[in-house]
Every structure is written in structure tokens, then in C-alpha cells.
Amino acid sequence: MPKLTGKRSKKAGLPPGSLVHTGEKKAGEVNISVIEYDEANFQKRELKTIEECFLLKDRPAVTWVDVEGIHQIDNIQKLGDCYNFHPLVLEDILNTDQRPKIEDHENYLYIVLKMLHYEEKAEVVMEQVSLILGPNFVFSFREGMEKNVFHSVRERIINSKGRIRKMGADYLLYTLIDTIVDNYFVILEKMGENIERLEEELIKNPTKQTLHQIHQLKREMIFLTRAVWPLREVINVMERGESSLIKDSTRIYLRDVYDHTIRVIDSIETFRDLLSGMLDIYLSSISNRMNEIMKFLTIVGTIFIPLTFVVGIYGMNFEYMPELKWHSGYFTILGLMAAIGISMLVYFKRKKWL
């Protein structure tokens, strides 16, 4: 489960642009992969050191550099010095609790998104992804989780599927963003299945574990909202912005991503309403169950009140009570008590109290 706040205390008192990694170390080693391609050719390789990226500068082909693992600050610093990235951009890459945003630095665009994964423990895990778009390159910085949704993009480039090899770096940026947004639907489908299962539990047998799962889903919805709501504005700025790095032919596809983002937001709002209603249903179910128990105990107590009265009378130690000498008095009183109890049950049934 993602934390509500990052470890910002590490940066307390430091000047702007100070490079401090505030996230968790999610990768043992830093993996740097590079794909260079044009319409006719492509080349994919793994880099051993960050200095090898410097040789890729000003290449004519589209270059995608994917950095997995941002906990080694020297790599980010060297890369920023080579490509003249602003120190505040480098700082934001290392601060993994950024909200989705876009910054136009004339020569490049800096974009922050949240990539979501669904673990086997039925928990949503959030990973920050920083993207930098240049004239003919795209840099992606990921924290280094086990699952990587960018694998499908690599396959499309290698197999030359679609128009990605025919387009420029801005289309590659669109493809990465579209992949992240499409993965939101996968997360929402699994959460929808969990919500349906909880609804069945609420009807059949709600327990404390059910309440815990409802609160967990509500918490996850908060993280989804934080990840998607600002993204809508990011896509809108890219679609309607004036940056020369994004061509008009790509803005059409960004409009489609914007529509997907709106659909995700609508689904999140629907799920949040359902969970709020489920919480009310749970509280009502517990209250109804308590009422049924109190109703049963009240009826039992009411039936035993006259029986206790009869037993109390014949439990008095007076010597001259008339019924004490009856030969069949014991069985007569038992029958009277049984008749009283049955009569009260019939009366309660007619009143529809049972």
C-alpha cells in the first residue's frame, strides 16, 4: 500500500535543487536500456554505465533511454549535466512523491506520471515515472518495480507494429503515457471484482474482515484519485499546448488518451460512491443484526416474566396456601405455565413481532 506522504524530511533545510532520493530503494542495481530506431532500422542494448548515454546525444534516430532505479544520485547528476537538464528537474526525478505534472523548458518537456501495479496481496502499488521529451529522444526514469508495463512498447518497436517506427519522439512519448493510462483499466477491473465480492459478503455474512477490506479499497481509491486527477490536466496541456516538440499529428492521439483519462476518473468516482454505500450497508447490517438479537432476548425475557411471577408465588413459604395440598398441583402449574408461554408466542406471531 503506498504511503500518504513521502520522506520529505530528508530535504528539510536544503537549498532548491539539492539532489536527495526520497523514495524507497526498489532495485538492487540500476538498469539502463537504450533503443534507437527509425522506420527502417532499430538497435536495442543494455548500458553498463551512465556515461555511455553521453554518446547518444544528437543522434538522428529516435532514442529511448529507460533508466530503472533512481537511487544512485550520481547517475542522475551526470545525465543532467550532459543534457543540460535543470537542477529542479533532477530534484523532482528523485522526489518520488510528486503529483503528475508537466513543465515546459523550451528545449525539452518534463512530465511526471504514476504507474500502478496490482500485487498478489490485493494491494495497489504506485511507482513514479518521470519522462523527458527532447527533439529526438525520450528519457524515462522509473523507481524499479518488478512489473514493467513498458515491455509492450519495446515489443512494438522491435516488431515494427503500428506506426511507432514511422513517427518521432513525441509519438513515443504518447505511447508510453497511453500504456500507463491503459494499465489503469486493468487495476480498475480487478478492484471492481473485489467490490462485487464484498457486496456478496455484505448480503450474506458481513464480518470485521469485510469492514477492513472496504476501508482498504477506500484508501486505494484515494491514491488512484491522486494519480489520475492531475493527469487529466497534464494531457490537456500537451494536447492544447504550444510546444514545438509535439507535432499536430500526435495531438490527435493525445486527445484519445485524454478521453481514456476521463473514463478512468468516472470509474473511480463510481467505485468511491459504491464503497461509501457499502460502508453504510455494513453499519446497517451490524445494527440490524444487533436489533434481531435484542428482539430475541426481549421476547424470551417477556415470556419468562409471567412464568417467573407464577413460580415466585408458589415459592413463598406460607403454610396455609390453598393449592399446596393439591395432589396434582405441580403438573397443573406446569401446564398453566406452558399455556401462558404458548399463548404469548401466538400473540407475538399475530402481531408480527416474530
Question: DSSP string spanning 215-236?
Answer: HHHHHHHHHHHHHHHHHHHHHH
Question: DSSP string spanning 43-79?
Answer: EEEEESSGGGGGGGTT-SSEEEEEEE----HHHHHHH
Contact 210, 113 (CB under 8 A): no
Percentage above 90 pLDDT, the chain = 15
Asked if the domains 8-284 and 294-350 are classified in one and the same CATH topology, the answer is no
Q: What is the CATH number of domain 294-350?
A: 1.20.58.340
Q: Which sequence spans correspond to the domains of the chain?
A: 8-284, 294-350
342 is written with which cell numbers? 404458548
- The closest alpha carbon to 188, from 213, 221, 216, belongs to 221
Q: Who has greater pLDDT, 282 or 180?
A: 180
Residues 6+ apart with CB under 8 A from 72: 30
Residue 202 and residue 103: Cα distance in Å, rounded? 46
Pairing of strands 137-142, 62-68: parallel
Residue 226 and residue 4: Cα distance in Å, rounded? 10
Taking residues 151-172, what's their average pLDDT? Answer: 87
Model confidence over 109-155: pLDDT tens digits? Answer: 999 999 888 776 667 788 889 999 998 899 999 887 666 778 888 88
Model confidence over 244-257: pLDDT tens digits? Answer: 889 988 999 999 99
Model confidence over 11-54: pLDDT tens digits? Answer: 555 666 567 767 665 556 788 888 998 888 888 888 888 887 77
Model confidence over 193-231: pLDDT tens digits? Answer: 888 888 888 877 777 888 888 888 888 888 888 888 899
CATH of 8-284, one of 3.30.460.20, 2.10.109.10, 1.10.10.10, 3.30.70.1380: 3.30.460.20
* 316 DSSP assignment: S
- What's the confidence (pLDDT) of residue 216? 85
- The closest alpha carbon to 190, from 151, 169, 220, 210, belongs to 220
